[in-house]
Amino acid sequence: MPHELYLPKLRERNVGLLKLLASGSLAASDLRDVRRDLQEFASRDLDVHIRMLVDACREDGFGVWDRTPT
């Protein structure tokens, strides 16, 4: 699992991708997987979803990366 400090960066990246998706800028065929994977989050709280995934993985015993961000 990523260090806690990486989670806001993950959120920012995904929010940016969602904005591109909403604007229609992700029409290229090589980005079709991004559209498919993120489409469901256009109407959901992405922060809540990421937090739920992280918490579930940690409960299942996944460790945290040992390299802290600089």
Is 66 inside any structural domain?
Answer: no
User: In this structure, is residue 39 part of a structural domain?
Assistant: yes
Within-domain flag for 15: yes
Please report which confidence band the pLDDT of residue 68 belongs to, taking 50, 70 and 90 as the band edges. Answer: low
**CA 21 – CA 31 distance, rounded (Å):** 10
Total tally of structural domains belonging to the chain: 1
Q: Is residue 64 part of a domain?
A: no
Is residue 49 domain-resident?
A: yes
Of 18, 13, 7, 20, the C-alpha closest to 48 is 7
Which residue segment(s) compose the domain that 41 sits in? Answer: 4-59
Give yes or no for residue 60 having a pLDDT over 90.
Answer: yes
Round the average pLDDT of the chain to a whole number and report it. 77
Residue 57 confidence (pLDDT) = 92
**Within a domain: 65:** no
pLDDT greater than 60 at residue 69 = no
The fraction of the chain above a pLDDT of 70, given in percent, is 67
Summarised one tens digit per residue, pLDDT across range 6-32 is 888 888 887 887 777 777 766 655 566
Please check whether residue 26 is in contact with residue 62, taking contact to mean a CB–CB distance below 8 angstroms.
Answer: no
The arithmetic mean of pLDDT across residues 41-49, rounded, is 75
Which residues 6+ apart lie within 8 Å of 21 measured at CB? 34, 35, 38, 39, 42
